């Protein structure tokens, strides 16, 4: 699966009157999650000589939110519970002939894992954890503490799991990414404020 093919898949599932902007938000978020995930994988290798499948991580990060679009109607209003976008994404990917191994990145990425759909492999855990450092709703980077606060609000157990991820993978450095996407965040948030 090439990056350009995955982008085409996003183009296919983005819809509605704000298709262009929503596609841009989800795709940019996916690229950011890919970048953070690879940084975590590199650190694991450098610090502990633990090797991961980086190609799989890249693909997983780029497809993990493919179910996002189906959670909204054509006016960008929620039409299903947001936590279900992982399962929806998994079903879309399986239908498209994507392997279970890859489709699971969608299934098991929501929060720190949701109900029985929790990340199992190191690669799945890395993408799931990396996803916590960037939000799509009002696009922004989140610090570890901000993510933790959100997780605890949903379920204190999720906070415990997030802490375990931190112990395992450390806290990624997003300084450069913040700088790179600073202008994009300013512009896209202006758009978000206008439609929400
Ligand atoms: Fe995500």
**Ligand 1 centroid distance, CA of 135 (Å):** 7
> Is the pLDDT assigned to residue 110 strictly greater than 90?
no
Q: What is the pLDDT of residue 159?
A: 93
Asked if residue 82 has pLDDT above 80, the reply is no
In which domain, by residue range, is 119 found? 3-195
State the average pLDDT for the chain: 94
Q: Residue 132, exposed/middle/buried by CB under 10 A (0-12, 13-18, 19+)?
A: buried
Q: What is the pLDDT of residue 83?
A: 80
196 pLDDT more than 80: no
Using one digit for the tens of pLDDT, what is the confidence trace for 148-169?
A: 999 999 889 999 999 999 999 9
Distance from the CA of 29 to the center of ligand 1, in angstroms?
A: 7
Q: Which two tokens stand for residue 55?
A: 């190609």
How do residues 36-62 score in pLDDT, each as one tens digit? 999 999 999 999 999 999 999 999 999
Number of domains forming the structure of the chain: 1
CA of 35 to the centre of ligand 1 (A): 12
Percentage of the chain exceeding pLDDT 90: 85
**In this structure, what CATH number is given to the domain that contains residue 179?**
1.10.3210
Residue 65 CA, ligand 1 centroid: distance in Å: 5
From 8-17, 52-61, 64-73, 108-117, the region with the lowest mean pLDDT: 108-117
């Amino acid at each position: 699966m090439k990056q350009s093919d995955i982008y085409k898949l996003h183009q296919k599932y983005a819809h509605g009157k704000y298709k262009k902007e929503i596609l841009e938000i989800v795709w940019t978020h996916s690229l950011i999650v890919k970048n953070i995930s690879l940084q975590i994988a590199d650190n694991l290798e450098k610090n502990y000589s633990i090797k991961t499948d980086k190609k799989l991580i890249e693909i997983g990060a780029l497809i993990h939110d493919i179910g996002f679009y189906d959670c909204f109607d054509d006016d960008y209003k929620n039409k299903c519970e947001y936590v279900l976008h992982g399962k929806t994404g998994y079903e879309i990917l399986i239908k498209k002939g994507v392997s279970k191994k890859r489709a699971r990145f969608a299934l098991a990425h929501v929060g720190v894992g949701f109900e029985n759909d929790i990340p199992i492999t190191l690669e799945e855990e890395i993408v799931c954890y990396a996803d916590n450092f960037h939000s799509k709703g009002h696009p922004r980077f989140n610090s570890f503490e901000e993510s933790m606060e959100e997780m605890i609000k949903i379920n204190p157990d999720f906070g415990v799991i997030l802490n375990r991820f931190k112990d395992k993978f450390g806290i990624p450095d997003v300084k450069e990414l913040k700088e790179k996407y600073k202008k994009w965040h300013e512009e896209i948030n202006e758009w978000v404020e206008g439609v929400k």
